[in-house]
Structures are given as C-alpha cells and as structure tokens.
Amino acid sequence: MLNPTVGSWYRDIETGELFEVVALDEAARTVETQFLDGEVTEYDLEVWRMLQLQRAAAPEDWRTPFELDDEDGLDPDLPYHPEEWSNPLSTIEPDTMLGVEDS
C-alpha cells in the first residue's frame, strides 16, 4: 500500500492507467487524482488503500492534454521584462487604465 502524495504519479497495476495525485482532503478522507486525458477522479481513503498501485515517473508529455506550454508555468506576480528595452512603443503610456474610470 502506498500513501498518496500530492504531485506524485502512480500506475494502477490492474488497469495500467497512469495518474497524478492532485489533492488530499484529510477531513473528508479523500484523494483526488487526474489522469493523462484530464479526467479527475476522487477516491475514499479506504478505496485508495485497496488499489494495487506502484509509483511512476511523470510522463514526458503529461501536459499535452491540457495544452500547456512552458510559459504557463510562469508566476504572474513576477515583473515582466520585455525582450527589447529600446523599443519606442514600450515608452508610450495608454490614455486609459484598466479598472479606473473617470467620474
């Protein structure tokens, strides 16, 4: 029996399906998993313990069904640095600001 760990990949020995544990709810005693095709499933902890699982490495193309690329992992709170600082268009300030309205 393997304990579920968020972010870890497992293979169901009986079905051969590969999935990742994406959430644990200890209060509800459930394990939420996501398969390569994007399907999300929730197991009771008792059912999880009855599964025949083995740890697995994350597949190389695991982001393909979600259409993610390397830029999707960037932190939106980090400062943005344009590739070309000398572009004259980058110094133009907009006439309006999003979220600010004139009264």
For residues 33-42, one letter each, b for 16 or more C-beta atoms within 10 angstroms of the residue's C-beta and e for the rest, the string is bbebeeeeee
**21 pLDDT more than 70:** yes
**89 pLDDT more than 90:** no
* Confidence (pLDDT) at 50: 92
Give the architecture (CATH level 2) of 1-58. Answer: Roll (2.30)
**Domains of the chain: which residue ranges?**
1-58
- The mean predicted confidence, pLDDT, of the chain is 78
pTM score above 0.85: no
**Chain segment 28-68, per-residue pLDDT in tens:** 999 999 988 888 999 999 999 999 999 999 887 655 555 55
Q: Tell me how far apart the alpha carbons of residues 65 and 47 are, in angstroms, rounded to a whole number.
A: 27
Per-residue tokens: 49: 């313990």
**85 pLDDT more than 70:** no
Nearest residue to 36 via CA among 18, 14, 58, 15: 18
* Confidence (pLDDT) at 2: 86
